[in-house]
């Protein structure tokens, strides 16, 4: 069985690869996420236990063009089980709820939750109408992170020795909304490729970082003309800037 922080590290990696907005559950899960995979597009919940799945759902419905992942826990989901029914009812294509189930209230001293005996969150989520997958290994987790619906991951009890998040609520929401409020139109560009130009090179600008990663090889022939360019592949949104070779 994976440690929770190992699962969180994988989720953080996949979220970055997918350029996903990521909601971290209150307490140690957010602290572990901050320690292993801090990004401005992580929203760290500092209060409102039980609402990670709801915040993620609202975000996914507001931004159907963005991939959204929420990290929740067994204790938190048990506090807001209705959320599983609402998520199933809305079925946003761009949303994945990951439940890290360690069978206890990890942040308060590992008091057992009902999932350590008979309650089965995967079956509850399925009964609520969700597409549900279960992951026990790193490979299953990575595979599940490409999907939508609900992913239940059984993890070991216990917290990693990580510090509290040294960001203020203002900082957390300020840097998060810089990413989450970016509209696709902000980074659509009209591109004109002059006549006679036979190939182009493109640079990818990811909206979260604005890091330009130039792709050196010419990838395709683009006819001359004006182009509105956006792309969404595997939940990765990017704008392409065309450069004449």
Q: Nearest to residue 67, comparing CAs of 208, 185, 214, 221?
A: 208
Structure tokens at 243: 């450069």
**Nearest-approach distance from CB 107 to other proteins, in angstroms:** 14
Contact status: 176 vs other proteins (CB under 8 A): yes
Q: Binding marks (x or -) toward other proteins, 63..92, rule CB under 8 A?
A: x--x-------------x-xx-xx--xx--
Residues 76, 110: contact at Cβ < 8 Å?
Answer: no
> How far is residue 45 CA from its own chain's centroid?
14
**Nearest-approach distance from CB 20 to other proteins, in angstroms:** 13
Contact status: 47 vs other proteins (CB under 8 A): yes
Structure tokens at 16: 């970055």
**Nearest-approach distance from CB 27 to other proteins, in angstroms:** 12
* Euclidean distance between CA atoms 35 and 7, whole angstroms: 13
Q: Nearest to residue 237, comparing CAs of 184, 178, 175?
A: 184
Total of chain residues touching other proteins, rule CB under 8 A: 38
Contact status: 173 vs other proteins (CB under 8 A): yes
Q: Nearest to residue 71, comparing CAs of 35, 106, 98?
A: 98
Contact status: 103 vs other proteins (CB under 8 A): no
Contact status: 164 vs other proteins (CB under 8 A): no
Stretch that binds other proteins, among 1-9, 52-60, 141-149, 230-238 (CB under 8 A): 52-60
Structure tokens at 59: 């975000």
Residues 42, 24: contact at Cβ < 8 Å?
Answer: yes
* Euclidean distance between CA atoms 1 and 229, whole angstroms: 43
Please identify which residue in 55, 153, 165, 193 interacts with other proteins, judged by CB under 8 A: 55
Would you say 15 or 135 has its CB closer to other proteins? 15
Contact status: 94 vs other proteins (CB under 8 A): no
Q: Nearest to residue 11, comparing CAs of 203, 127, 102, 140?
A: 140
Contact status: 105 vs other proteins (CB under 8 A): no
Contact status: 127 vs other proteins (CB under 8 A): no
Please identify which residue in 109, 117, 163, 170 interacts with other proteins, judged by CB under 8 A: 170
Residues 24, 41: contact at Cβ < 8 Å?
Answer: no
Q: Nearest to residue 59, comparing CAs of 24, 83, 94, 30?
A: 94
Stretch that binds other proteins, among 41-49, 157-165, 220-228, 233-241 (CB under 8 A): 41-49
Stretch that binds other proteins, among 110-118, 159-167, 174-182, 193-201 (CB under 8 A): 174-182
Interacting residues with other proteins (CB under 8 A): 23, 43, 45-63, 66, 80, 82-83, 85-86, 89-90, 169-170, 172-173, 176-177, 180-181, 183
């Amino acid at each position: 069985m994976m440690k929770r922080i190992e699962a969180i590290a994988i989720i953080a990696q996949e979220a970055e690869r997918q350029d996903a907005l990521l909601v971290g559950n209150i307490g140690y899960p957010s602290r572990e996420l901050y320690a292993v995979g801090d990004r401005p597009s992580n929203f760290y919940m500092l209060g409102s236990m039980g609402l990670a799945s709801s915040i993620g759902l609202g975000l996914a419905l507001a931004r159907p063009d963005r991939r959204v992942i929420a990290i929740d826990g067994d204790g938190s989901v048990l506090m807001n089980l209705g959320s599983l029914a609402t998520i199933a009812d809305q079925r946003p294509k761009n949303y994945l709820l990951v439940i890290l189930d360690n069978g206890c209230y990890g942040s308060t001293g590992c008091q057992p939750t009902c999932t350590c005996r008979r309650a089965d969150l995967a079956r509850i989520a399925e009964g609520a109408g969700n597409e549900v997958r279960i992951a026990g290994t790193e490979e299953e987790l990575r595979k599940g992170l490409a999907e939508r619906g609900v992913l239940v991951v059984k993890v070991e009890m216990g917290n990693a020795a990580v510090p509290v998040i040294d960001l203020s609520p203002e900082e957390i929401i300020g840097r998060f909304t810089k990413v989450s409020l970016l509209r696709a139109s902000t980074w659509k560009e009209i591109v004109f490729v002059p006549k006679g130009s036979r190939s182009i090179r493109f640079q990818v600008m990811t909206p979260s970082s604005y890091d330009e990663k130039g792709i050196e090889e010419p990838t395709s022939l683009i006819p001359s003309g004006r182009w509105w360019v956006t792309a969404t592949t595997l939940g990765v949104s990017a704008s392409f800037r065309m450069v004449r070779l």
